[in-house]
Structure 1
Amino acid sequence: MDAKHHLQRLASPARTASFVLHMSGICSFLASFAYLQLFPQLPAGSVGGDFQFLTILGLALSLVTFTFGYVADLALSKQLFETKNSLTVCVAPLEVIISVLYWTLRTYDRNLVYPPEMEGGLPLLPDIGFHLAPALFLTTDLLLFSPPWTICLREATVLSLCIAFFYWAWVEYCFSYNGFYPYPIFQLLTTQQRTFLFAFSAVLMTASTLALKRLYHYVNGSLALAKKED
C-alpha cells in the first residue's frame, strides 16, 4: 500500500520499513516487560504493582500503539493505521516527557526516582529500554510513518491535564492502600507541591505535543504548502 499523506515520508501501513519499525518497537517493549518479571521494582502484592510507575504505564501504551501499527502493516488496514495515529498523539508526547523528566531528575539526584535500597539504579541497557527507547521509537514513527497532527493548543492542553491528573489520582489511590509512593520525590512533596508538580508536568506535555508537531513540519514540510500543491 503506497498511498500516503503528502507530508508522510514513507509508506505506512506497509510490509516494508514501517513493519520493521513496529516489530522492533514491540520487541523492545516486551523485553522491558520481561525484565520486570525477572526483577520487580516494587514489593509483591502492592496495589497497582509496577503499573504505579508512569514509566510502565507509558510503556504499556506504547506497546498497544505499536501493536496497532504492526497489525495495520500486516493487514494493510487503513482503519488500524488511523487508530495507531490517534494513540500516537497521546502516547508520543507522554513518552518524550517521561524521558526528559526521568533523565533530568536522575542526573540531578537519582534518589528522587530510586529508593535508597536501589542505590545504583537500573543497569544501563534496561534503563534505556524503559526511559529512552519508547520516546525514540514513537518519535521515529511520527516523523517517518505518520500523517501530520491536527491537534491544536487547547486540545493538547486538555489532553495533557487529563493524563496528568488521572495519573495523580491513580498514584494517590495506590498510596491509600500501600502506604508508599512509587517515586521517592512524591513522598518528599506536600500535597500542594504535588499539585504544582502534576500541573507543571501537564504544561510540559502540552509543550512536548506542540514541539513534536513543529518538528514534524520542520522535517517533512508545511501542511499549508502540501494543500497548495494538491
Structure 2
Amino acid sequence: MSDREVVLGRIRRALRDVPRSEAPEDVPVAREYARAHVPDGTGGSGAAGDAGALTDLLARNLADYRARVHRTDAGGLPPLLRRLLAERGSRTVLVPSGLPPWWLTAADPGGPGGPGGPARVHDRAGAAARELDAVDSVVTGCAVAVAETGTVVLDGGPGQGRRRITLIPDHHVCVVEVPGQVVASVPQALERLVPTRPLTWISGPSATSDIELDRVEGVHGPRTLEVVLLAG
C-alpha cells in the first residue's frame, strides 16, 4: 500500500459518520482561538490594545529582523529623512505618487536643509527595472504594521507606489504612522487590507541563507530597510 493510499484511507475512516448530503458550511466551527498574543515586557500595561506597548513591541521585532528603527514626530520627520538619505550618500530618491510633499522638504536641493539634497525621481508606470536599479533610495509610507511579527505591509495605496519600487532599489525608508497604523497581529492586519490589492509584506531587509546557513542580504529586495515610527 502506498503512502497516498494510507492517507486517503485515514480520511475515509474519519468521514465515515458524515452524511453525504452534509456541506462544510452546515457545521459551524468554533473559532475561539486568540486573535493576538499579549505583548510581554514592553514596559506598558501588556494589553494587546495598549498603543505604547504595541509600538515598543513593533520596534523591537523590527530591530530583531535587522531593520534600522527611528522614532520622531511630525516636526522631526523632514530633517530625519534628510539625514538618513545623506548618511546613505543618496544622490537620487524615488518618490511614489501621493507621498506627503512635506516629508522630503528638508531633503530638497536648496531647501530648508541646505544645498546638496538628492534629486527626486518620480515613479512612472513605464520605468524599466534598470532605471529603478539606478535609484539610490526610495521613501514610502505603508498600509499597516504588525507588532507581533515586526512586519510592515504595503498595498500600493497613496504614498506607497507600485510593488517593484520597493523591491529593486537597494535602500528603502518606510514611514509608519503610530499608533494609528500599528496592530497587534496578522489577523488584525488582514481586517484592514483588501486581498485583491498588491500586498507586499516586509519583515526586515531582504535576506536568504544557503544550506550552510550563510546569510546573504539583498537577494529579493533592498539590503537596507529603515523604518521611521512617526508619532501622530
Quickly name the TM-score band, shorter chain normalised: under 0.3
Rg larger in 1 or in 2? Answer: 2
* More strand by percentage: 2
More helix by share: 1
Q: TM-score, normalised by structure 2?
A: 0.25
Question: TM-score normalized by structure 1?
Answer: 0.25
